[in-house]
Amino acid sequence: MKAINTANITHDQQPESSWQHLLSHCFSDPVSLAKFLQLEADQLNFSAAASSQFSLKVPLPYAMRMQKGDSRDPLLLQVLPDPRELEYFPGFVTDPLQEADANHLTGLIHKYQNRVLLMLSGACAINCRYCFRRHFPYDDNKIGSQQWQNILQYIENDNSIEEVIFSGGDPLATSDQRLDKFITQLGKIKHLQRLRIHSRLPVVIPQRITDHLCQILQTTRLQTVLVIHANHANEFDHQVSAALAKLQAAKVTVLNQAVLLKGINDSVESQKRLHTASFAAGALPYYLFVLDPVQGAAHFDISDSQAQQLIRELQRQLPGYLLPRLAREIPGMPHKTLLAI
């Protein structure tokens, strides 16, 4: 990955704006990110050792939404390798979801009734520090043409499957051509009703929502749902809204899932702003996940009782349709587990 040459960036002039260019020219070194944010490099609480485990990766459109001069910016803190990631916390492990066990077929996870999840791409457009995927063995799960044939066969043979979920990594990190081929072939399987895509790309590089992609999603006979991922109101801007409006025009239902993160979105005010901004941009709140106990992320953790108290207060202040479902993923359970509130 190439580092950004910050000398070329001004407020009204961007380098190439195609999504592929933006995806391959992310910030990957703290010095250029600090400079872009008008900070001294030593003002960032950056850990090179943490970055060597899971590298710094931030696309430009996302970095542009960070407050200049603020080393505690809530978007920055989601992506900055932090020295605390190297501390050991009992119970915080490399595979908290034990997905390795439900991984019957390369690239496919069938844990929940009626739904199969496909890991379409190992890559992400951004490296989020709290993510359990930071330790996942993606390289063992590459979907080549043989694996794709096996997956199609698996879905065809099980007519209880109604929904296919494209996940990753980030499934929209793959080309429109590849998505088109997959969606066309899935559309021919009669018992399938829905296609769902889980992606952070519409938020972090909204240019990813191309006309071609919208056309693919609009023309499939499958009902289509796109679940974006934003954790803070500042992640929405007019470009994200424009991308979500294009999706809605293509009859795609857009939902948002978020992760509850200490120091980033753990106040009532911040949560209210998040779900209100998400809806204003065109995405209904879906899940609010408590943190998976992943090694390196313990400093983001919030107790269940604090999370439940937060949701109870939110319930008083938000209309019902803006209240996300507070949930966690427990290995071995056949569904996400809702926390009582």
Ligand X SMILES: *Cc1c(COP(=O)(O)O)cnc(C)c1O
Q: Which pair of structure tokens corresponds to residue 113? A: 């009734």
Contact call for residue 111 and ligand X (CB under 6 A): yes
- For the CB of residue 136, give the shortest distance to ligand X in the complex, in Å: 12
Report the residue number, 110 or 133, with the smaller CB distance to ligand SF4. 133
Contact call for residue 65 and ligand X (CB under 6 A): no
Please, which of residues 187-216 interact with ligand SF4 by CB under 6 A? 200
Please, which of residues 242-261 interact with ligand SF4 by CB under 6 A? none
Residue 111: contacted member of ligand SF4, ligand X, none (CB under 5 to 8 Å, by partner type): ligand X
SS3 state at 42: helix
Whether the Cβ atoms of residue 46 and residue 232 lie closer than 8 Å to each other: no
Site map 220..239 versus ligand SF4, x via CB under 6 A: ---------x----------
Q: Which pair of structure tokens corresponds to residue 32? A: 């250029």
Residue 138: contacted member of ligand X, ligand SF4, none (CB under 5 to 8 Å, by partner type): none
Residue 109: contacted member of ligand SF4, ligand X, none (CB under 5 to 8 Å, by partner type): ligand X
Q: What one-character-per-residue DSSP string does 111-134 give?
A: EETTEEEEE--S--SS--TT-GGG
Q: Indicate which single residue of 99, 170, 292, 301 sits in contact with ligand SF4 (rule: CB under 6 A).
A: 170
- For the CB of residue 78, give the shortest distance to ligand SF4 in the complex, in Å: 8
Counting residues that bind ligand X (by CB under 6 A) gives: 8
Contact call for residue 127 and ligand SF4 (CB under 6 A): yes
What is the rounded CA–CA span in Å between residue 207 and residue 190? 33
Max Cα distance, the chain (Å) = 58
What is the rounded CA–CA span in Å between residue 276 and residue 256? 11
Q: Which stretch binds ligand X (CB under 6 A): 59-67, 70-78, 107-115, 263-271?
A: 107-115
Cα–Cα separations (whole angstroms), residue 9 to 14, 36, 66, 201, 260:
6, 8, 15, 21, 32
Contact call for residue 131 and ligand SF4 (CB under 6 A): yes
Instruction: Report the candidate in 274, 299, 292 with the shortest Cα–Cα distance to residue 328.
Output: 292
- Write phi, then psi, for 206 (nearest 5 degrees): -60, -20
Eight-class DSSP state of 27: B
Question: Strand (E) positions, 87-129?
Answer: 108-112, 115-119
- For the CB of residue 181, give the shortest distance to ligand SF4 in the complex, in Å: 23
Report the residue number, 21 or 115, with the smaller CB distance to ligand X. 115
Q: Where does this chain bind ligand SF4 (CB under 6 A)?
A: 124, 126-128, 131, 133, 168-170, 200, 229
